[in-house]
Amino acid sequence: MLFKSGRSEESHSLSEIGSGFFAPPKEGGTQNDKSKADMTLKVFIDFDGTITKQDVGNAFFKEFGGESCTEYIAEYKSEKISAKELFRKEVAAIGLLDEKKAKKFLHHQTLDGSFKGFVGYCRSHNIEFHVVSDGLDYYIEEILKHHGIEGVSFFSNRLEVLPAENGFAKLTIAFPFDDADCTRCACCKRNIMLTKCGEDDISVYIGEGYSDRCPVQYADIVFAKDELQKFCQQKNISYFLYNSFDDVVKRLEELLAKKRLKPRREAEMKRREAFVRE
């Protein structure tokens, strides 16, 4: 199992090639000749703010853990504490969870209206996809189920909700996909992606925020919006701008039709680096 962290610090400007694709300027000799029409797509999708409209994790802890959670989230965002420390503090702030209220809260969360169609698209085209989240299984499962989306593979942190008394539950947090060497994320999306992809797979990453910064550096095709778009620009990572999963489907269809699937050279190098370190 690959469990290492790695982040590039180089910064360049971007040039727009056109039709929503943003790529860094090409340097001499960087053209990738490993293009294969029959490479297999594997798709990795962030949950909070990508599948859902808002960051459910943050909203959940603010709702049930009170004001202190807002402070903890700010500490995390300014990199004073890691995601694991954040979760431990937030879980402690909740104490006992009112399960009925929690379910009601989760059922009110809104999904990107096009996600269900995207799941159908991947399934009907035999495209493997996984949700990768630095959030919690508790709400991912509940929200997807509530919206009639079942059987989706996902990787996340684990919140055990153990019934206590009077409808309240005790919470225990666990990090089954952490990386011992990484001080930022609790669930290592990069490792999941690298473990799930073989050499002839083309990895597609769809995200929007902080926890997507690390994995996009290792992905061949990146769909970015919001904060992640800015990060891709700063770090010279080629990406497609998207607003909804309908945009993603449209792009993938174009790429598949033109047989323009190929590994991204910089991502390939990062992957190689990660495996060599291992």
220 binds Mg ion per the rule CB under 5 A: no
Among 24, 57, 65, 209, binds Mg ion (CB under 5 A): 209
In the chain, what's the furthest Cα-to-Cα distance?
68
**45 closest CA partner among 184, 161, 174, 140:** 140
Count Cβ neighbours within 10 Å for each residue of 127-147 and write b for 16 or more, e otherwise: bebbbbbbbbbbbbebbbeeb
Structure tokens that stand for 108 in this block: 């009110």
In the complex with Mg ion, the residue whose CB is nearer, 159 or 261, is 159
CB of residue 78 to Mg ion, shortest distance in Å = 18
Size of the site for Mg ion (CB under 5 A): 4
In the complex with Mg ion, the residue whose CB is nearer, 65 or 209, is 209
Dist. CA 275–CA 278, nearest whole Å? 5
Structure tokens that stand for 229 in this block: 């778009």
CB of residue 167 to Mg ion, shortest distance in Å = 30
Note whether 72 and 231 are within 8 A (CB).
no
Binding map of Mg ion across residues 150-189, x = CB under 5 A, - = no contact: ----------------------------------------
Note whether 270 and 254 are within 8 A (CB).
no
Note whether 188 and 6 are within 8 A (CB).
no
In the complex with Mg ion, the residue whose CB is nearer, 142 or 208, is 208
In the complex with Mg ion, the residue whose CB is nearer, 152 or 169, is 152
Specify the 3-state DSSP secondary structure of 275.
helix
In the complex with Mg ion, the residue whose CB is nearer, 7 or 100, is 7
- According to DSSP, the β-strands at 201-207 and 221-224 are parallel
CB of residue 44 to Mg ion, shortest distance in Å = 12
Note whether 230 and 2 are within 8 A (CB).
no
Structure tokens that stand for 193 in this block: 């992606």
Dist. CA 170–CA 109, nearest whole Å? 23
> Which one of the spans 13-21, 123-131, 145-153, 202-210 is the region binding Mg ion (CB under 5 A)?
202-210
In the complex with Mg ion, the residue whose CB is nearer, 55 or 169, is 55
Q: Site residues for Mg ion, window 182-201 (CB under 5 A)?
A: none
49 binds Mg ion per the rule CB under 5 A: yes
Binding map of Mg ion across residues 226-245, x = CB under 5 A, - = no contact: --------------------
CB of residue 232 to Mg ion, shortest distance in Å = 14
46 binds Mg ion per the rule CB under 5 A: yes
> Which one of the spans 41-49, 83-91, 120-128, 164-172 is the region binding Mg ion (CB under 5 A)?
41-49
CB of residue 134 to Mg ion, shortest distance in Å = 8
- CB contact set of 196 (below 8 Å; sequence gap of 6+): 42, 44, 128, 130
**206 closest CA partner among 276, 79, 114:** 114
Dist. CA 53–CA 221, nearest whole Å? 22
In the complex with Mg ion, the residue whose CB is nearer, 225 or 270, is 225
48 binds Mg ion per the rule CB under 5 A: yes
**Would you tell me which residues interact with Mg ion (CB under 5 A)?**
46, 48-49, 209
